[in-house]
Structure 1
Amino acid sequence: MLFNYNYYNLKMKIHFIGIGGIGISALAKYYLYQGHIISGSDLSYPVVFSKNELKNIKFYLGHKARNLEKDVDLVIYTSAIKKNNPELVKAKKLGIPTLSYPQALGQLTKNYFTIAIAGMHGKSTTTAMVSNIFIKAKLDPTVIIGSKVKGFGENKEPSNFRLGKSKILIIEADEYKAGFLNHYPDIILITNIEEEHLDYYKNLNNILKTFRKFIQRLNFEKNLGNLNKFRKYLVVNKEDKNILKIVPQSNFLKRIKVRFYSVKNKPKNLKLQVPGLHNISNALGALTIAKIFKIPDKVSFKALYEFKGIWRRLEYKGKINGAKIFDDYGHHPTEIKVTLQAIKELIKNGRLFIVFQPHQYYRTLILFDKFLNAFDDADFVILTDIYSVPGREKESIKRKVNSEILKEELSKKKNNIYYLKEFEKIEEFLRKNLNKNDICIIMGAGDIWKLTEKLIKSEK
């Protein structure tokens, strides 16, 4: 049952199932700041809300039918939960309208001039870059992003949500389970396309088909007053061969303008503080959108230079034995490779360590050969156990791949490959081996961040 958003301005009681997720929590914040009454549940205590935000949210630990009150107006749930979730089952039994997070975000995009940032890698960083440019240009956007950005939250705290006063909405458009096909964008930026989420898509061809459908979402017309003067735009990375396969044909281009960007066309006076060719590409994509809005380059360049990265994207955390420690969310071979390349350029006399927690057994198996080529720039590779993703794993797959097998195969290519099961053993290894001038990246989309926090806290 879908909710009638003609009444979205009325004060509602909204319950979020899986409220701690990085995307759905931003939507919960949106409705919280609009004055709605918010409740939510999750399997662990949410770390993405500020203390003040949590004071105004009725939070339930665990998923139980009794968490859902009968007078709730709307239930929004994460795509990660199963259909038999007790709260979702109760909501449907009571006739309470239910929306998945992608559906709910999609309904919101109807009411804004929406800039959607899509692609397998770089979405969060590019979304943050575009947002910072628009803020610097005083366009005051609302932002929903899959990471935390400094200055977005209360008292300038890092947050995955920013409430603006304009009718511009900047979102990170997630391709998982084709969720972005629920959105109604006015500008789409695609950073890159390659094999990912193959437990859902199965192959690259299905991914390309889905992105083609996403581009067609630009056809939806809205009544947004002065913002209607802007044409619909598709902004794409010219260097990505898979993107070029899906750029629409001429009959579509009469209504939609296409803008290409390329690292080959980097302005000489564009300076960044975030390293790597991939971040130059992200910045050029953001700059292309800024030009559509006729934002002066002087403003855009200043915003991009001041950008110092986002939460868990090559985030500097502190030092151990004089070695710099970075935390990173990367879990795909391409993300590992470009991150190591970027950091390698910064090292002068030290060594590059990476602690990697593979994320999901199926991803590790299906992209195994690509993982073998992802660590070439590292001097030391420490692997820990694969993070098992609830609801996305099969026992038959678990029997075919593990971190010990990955370690054995990597050891055939290069030296200094280690498998350490316990986080405590990894901590001991790092304290024993890290020296001044070394850099260590602790990487993964699971719970490896807990190791990073423990390491840094013990140094203070």
Structure 2
Amino acid sequence: MNLHNLHSVYFLGIGGIGMSAIARWFNHIGIPVYGYDKTPSPLTETLEREGMQISYADDSRQIPKEFSSSTENKLVIWTPAVPQSSQLFRYFESQAYPLMKRSAALGLITKSMETVAVAGTHGKTTTSSMIAHLLKNAGRNTAAFLGGLTQNYQSNLILHDEGSQEAPLVVVEADEFDRSFLQLHPNVSIVTSIDPDHLDIYGDPNQFLDGFLAFIGLTSPDGHLFIHHGAYEKIKERDFGKVAVSTYGLDAGRVRAENIKAGTVAFSFDYLSEDDRIEGLKLHVPGFHNIENAVAAIAVARYFGLSKEAIKEGIATYKGVKRRFECIHSSDKITYIDDYAHHPEEIRSFLTSVKAMYPSKKLTAVFQPHLFTRTRDFAAGFSESLSLADEVILLDIYPARELPIEGVTASMLLPEINCPKKQVLSKEALLPYLKQQRPEVLVTIGAGDIDRLVEPIAKWIADDKA
């Protein structure tokens, strides 16, 4: 299929962060884009302003006539987040429209470009956006399909210069959900972590590891694999094929960080490999885990020949990704940070860094669990990692694509959370409670619709002149 020759494209689940990047690509090359999503959001509103037509009703009568008039040169791209029981999905299937998963579309778009693919249970959005920024900032002809909105480019899509004489590099976030990353064609692969997740898809941790090994196996034999040393330890006895391998980490691996200093404005560190050293790097996106992400990004940048000076500038000017350790407000009275963490290890890394930044202040964590299956499968891990906070407020589980599971609730995490104060609150009750308690360091954590609370909380803090 030649994607450039399509008449139009319809996106089922267009408001998803990965889907919207592909929708933007089609819109950029001049192909009309239509779509459906369950509810409006700031992202879908932005897509509509960019010229895309979006419906919020799961109703085939809402499909624009320009798309429903025939199936010729039309394509429907869908995400598994929209169930196949959806009326729209059943309609497109019954009318014999070509249906393609988001991952397959991304694989086709990037197939002809040299590809850097970033996979991992945690850190892939930050790492991929760092790599893209380092390359773009250094003048390399770079495109990127990202799983978050970069603060540097205010988008999840970075476009390469089609008129450039330099062949483009494309950076893609390789999503393990539904084995989507097996549709890609990486020349360079990065694996940030292999902590089990999505066991509703994979079944058990061994099959999860097999999925990552299959992804690694797609790497071009003359390419390179950069893998976190902890992930490498889990699979080092397995067959990697002929691809060259470099491990990385904070204090272990072929490439690593040294002289790390945590600050409230920036973290500083040195980059070190067997034959290379870059001193005095300053990263204005805090977090020890973000230093690890930066080490991987720098290793890839050096692989592509970027100078030490270009890397220092790129790291210093990197602004991060929305909802990844995003500092919403900071003052003497209150600091408010929002983060997308939704796995126990992500929460552990995030809270550890926040505590290092504000060691003498009370830390209040508001967490919205994401998915009934993930809450059930990792309940002990969630309780343990949340215990790093001084106070924990749990919101109800965000179901996403799932139906409720009997006995699986946010409350089931409370007994094993070991902190002085803990409770479950409704979203409606949260803001009045915060106004009454006036936390010193407040963090909101989760991958569901907890992001809808960020603006009201920020407005309260601003209006309160905290």
TM range, normalised to the smaller chain?
0.7 to 0.9
Instruction: Tell me, yes or no, if structure 1 residue 70 matches structure 2 residue 56.
Output: no
- Mark the CA change 1:280 to 1:247 in structure 2 (over 3 Å): closer, same or farther: farther
Contact 1:192–1:242, Cα closer than 8 Å, also in 2: no
Partners of 1:208 and 1:405 lie apart in 2 by 28
Partners of 1:107 and 1:95 lie apart in 2 by 21
Contact 1:320–1:431, Cα closer than 8 Å, also in 2: no
Moved more, 170-179 or 322-331: 322-331
Alignment of 1:234-249 (within 5 A): 234-245=225-236, 248-249=239-240
Q: CA deviation at 1:424?
A: 3.1
Instruction: Tell me, yes or no, if structure 1 residue 371 matches structure 2 residue 382.
Output: yes
What is the SS of the residue equivalent to 1:215? helix
- Mark the CA change 1:366 to 1:11 in structure 2 (over 3 Å): closer, same or farther: closer
* Corresponding pairs, count: 427
Q: Identify the match of residue 257 of structure 1 among 235, 244, 258.
A: 244
2:429 is matched with 425
Q: What is the identity, as a one-letter code, of the residue corresponding to 1:239? A: G
Alignment of 1:97-176 (within 5 A): 97-152=98-153, 158-165=154-161, 166-176=167-177
Q: Identify the match of residue 434 of structure 1 among 434, 438, 453.
A: 438
1:83 is matched with 84
CA-based RMSD? 2.0
1:136-156 deviations in whole A, cap 9, x for unaligned? 11113111111100232xxxx
What is the SS of the residue equivalent to 1:14? strand
- Mark the CA change 1:16 to 1:98 in structure 2 (over 3 Å): closer, same or farther: same
Q: CA deviation at 1:167?
A: 2.0
1:399 is matched with 406
Partners of 1:191 and 1:433 lie apart in 2 by 38
Moved more, 349-358 or 173-182: 349-358
Q: CA deviation at 1:288?
A: 1.0
Contact 1:20–1:47, Cα closer than 8 Å, also in 2: no
Q: CA deviation at 1:280?
A: 1.1
Moved more, 192-201 or 320-329: 320-329
1:416-452 deviations in whole A, cap 9, x for unaligned? 11221x22322122122225xx211011111111222
1:323 is matched with 334
Partners of 2:369 and 2:457 lie apart in 1 by 20
Alignment of 1:277-316 (within 5 A): 277-316=288-327
Q: CA deviation at 1:90?
A: 2.6
What is the SS of the residue equivalent to 2:385? coil
Contact 1:208–1:246, Cα closer than 8 Å, also in 2: no
Moved more, 75-84 or 46-55: 46-55
Q: Identify the match of residue 361 of structure 1 among 372, 379, 387.
A: 372
Contact 1:329–1:444, Cα closer than 8 Å, also in 2: yes
Q: What is the identity, as a one-letter code, of the residue corresponding to 1:90? A: Y
Q: CA deviation at 1:336?
A: 0.8
Q: CA deviation at 1:49?
A: 4.9
Partners of 1:76 and 1:380 lie apart in 2 by 43
What is the SS of the residue equivalent to 2:230? coil
Instruction: Tell me, yes or no, if structure 1 residue 388 matches structure 2 residue 399.
Output: yes
Contact 2:131–2:297, Cα closer than 8 Å, also in 1: yes
Moved more, 315-324 or 346-355: 315-324
What is the SS of the residue equivalent to 1:81? coil
What is the SS of the residue equivalent to 2:146? strand
Partners of 2:35 and 2:315 lie apart in 1 by 36
1:343 is matched with 354
Q: CA deviation at 1:314?
A: 1.4
- Mark the CA change 1:247 to 1:29 in structure 2 (over 3 Å): closer, same or farther: farther
- Mark the CA change 1:149 to 1:415 in structure 2 (over 3 Å): closer, same or farther: same
Partners of 1:263 and 1:384 lie apart in 2 by 33
Alignment of 1:36-47 (within 5 A): 36-47=31-42
Contact 1:124–1:147, Cα closer than 8 Å, also in 2: yes
Partners of 1:246 and 1:102 lie apart in 2 by 29
Partners of 1:423 and 1:88 lie apart in 2 by 32
Q: What is the identity, as a one-letter code, of the residue corresponding to 1:163? A: L
Partners of 1:175 and 1:218 lie apart in 2 by 15
1:370-395 deviations in whole A, cap 9, x for unaligned? 112102321111112111223x23x4
Contact 2:152–2:319, Cα closer than 8 Å, also in 1: no
Q: CA deviation at 1:351?
A: 1.1
Contact 1:193–1:242, Cα closer than 8 Å, also in 2: no
Partners of 1:338 and 1:232 lie apart in 2 by 30
- Mark the CA change 1:92 to 1:419 in structure 2 (over 3 Å): closer, same or farther: closer
2:30 is matched with 35
Contact 2:14–2:44, Cα closer than 8 Å, also in 1: no
Contact 1:383–1:418, Cα closer than 8 Å, also in 2: yes
Q: CA deviation at 1:77?
A: 0.8
Q: What is the identity, as a one-letter code, of the residue corresponding to 2:211? A: T
1:190 is matched with 191
Partners of 2:248 and 2:97 lie apart in 1 by 45
Q: CA deviation at 1:52?
A: 7.1
Partners of 1:63 and 1:140 lie apart in 2 by 40
Q: CA deviation at 1:276?
A: 2.2
The percent identity for this pair of structures is 29
Q: What is the identity, as a one-letter code, of the residue corresponding to 1:136? A: N
Q: Identify the match of residue 56 of structure 2 among 56, 61, 83.
A: 61
Partners of 1:442 and 1:33 lie apart in 2 by 34
Partners of 2:201 and 2:184 lie apart in 1 by 19
Contact 2:152–2:318, Cα closer than 8 Å, also in 1: no
Partners of 1:215 and 1:407 lie apart in 2 by 38
Q: What is the identity, as a one-letter code, of the residue corresponding to 1:172? A: E
Q: What is the identity, as a one-letter code, of the residue corresponding to 1:115? A: V
Partners of 2:447 and 2:380 lie apart in 1 by 20
Contact 1:13–1:71, Cα closer than 8 Å, also in 2: no
Partners of 1:52 and 1:59 lie apart in 2 by 8
